[in-house]
Amino acid sequence: MTKDKRKGGNTRRRVDWNVYLFRCSSLDTLHVTKKDYSQDLLNLFVDETHNQQRVFTSPSMQLGIDQEQDSINLVNEIRGTQYQKNEKHFKNEFIKGTPDIISGDTVIDIKTCDVEGYPTSFENKTRAYALSKYKFQLAGYCWLTGKTKAEIIFTDNVNGKIKSVKFDAEELIPTLKKAVEDWRGKCWWFWGAGIVSPYEVPF
C-alpha cells in the first residue's frame, strides 16, 4: 500500500476500500448512521489508514469469551441438543466473520449474561433489544454461510436459564449489502477529502 504524507506530519497508508472486509460484529454499529455517516465508521477509517487497531474490551465482552463454552453447554442441557462451537472463519467480497453455531438452516449467536460474580441484565434482554443490537451481525453470518434464519440466545449461567430471539435474516441481506457498498464509497470519499481524524469531517 502506498503512503500519503500530508501537511503537519500525518502519514496515511492507502487502503483499497474496494476490497476491504467489514467484520460482522461491527455491522450493527456501522449501519446506524447520522448525517449519512457514523462515528464508528469514521473511527474504523482512521484506524485502518493509520495502520492501527482499535482495541475495545469490556467486562461483558470478556465474560462472553471466558464463558462461551459453559453457555453452549447450558443451551445443550436445556434443549437436549449437541451444538458445538463453530471454528470456521467465513468471508465474501464484503464482510468476514465467525458464527458461534451453525445448525441446519440457522446461525446461532450466544450472548452470555449472568455468571457467578458477574450479574448483568438477563431479565432485560428483550426481543427489541436483541434486534436493535445484533440483527445485522446475524444477517451477516447468514449472508456468509448461505443460511436464512438467525437466532440469538441469551444465557443466565447462574440460574440455568436461557431465552431465545429468532428471526428471518434473509430479507435483511440486500439492505446490508447496499450498506457496505455505501460504506466503502464513504471511506474513499474520506480519503479524497484528506480526513486523518473524525474531527475533520466537514459536515
Looking at residue 161, its amino acid is K
**Pairing mode of beta strands 90-91, 22-23:** unpaired
Q: Could you tell me the CA-to-CA distances from 59 to 8, 25, 117 in Å, in that order?
A: 38, 17, 12
**CA neighbor of 199 nearest in space, from 10, 5, 2, 4:** 10
Condensed to tens digits (0 to 9), the pLDDT of residues 81-105 reads: 999 999 999 999 999 999 999 999 9
Per-residue confidence at 8, pLDDT binned at 50, 70, 90? very low
Judged by phi (left if over 0) then psi (alpha if -120 to 50, else beta), residue 165 lies in beta
15, 48 contact by CB (below 8 A): yes
Give the class (CATH, top level) of 59-175. alpha beta
Condensed to tens digits (0 to 9), the pLDDT of residues 143-183 reads: 999 999 999 999 998 889 999 999 999 999 999 999 999 99
Describe the crossing of helices 173-192 and 127-145 by its angle, rounded to 10 degrees. Answer: 80
Distance between start and end Cα atoms, the chain: 28
How many Å apart are CA 203 and CA 155, to the nearest integer? 42
164, 126 contact by CB (below 8 A): no
Per-residue confidence at 7, pLDDT binned at 50, 70, 90? very low
- C-alpha cell belonging to residue 40: 464508528
pTM value?
0.86
pLDDT at 40: 86
Domain residues of the chain, as ranges?
3-54+179-200, 59-175
**Which range is least confidently modeled, 35-44, 55-64, 111-120, 184-193?**
55-64
What torsion do the CA atoms of 49, 51, 54, 55 make, to the nearest 10 degrees? 170
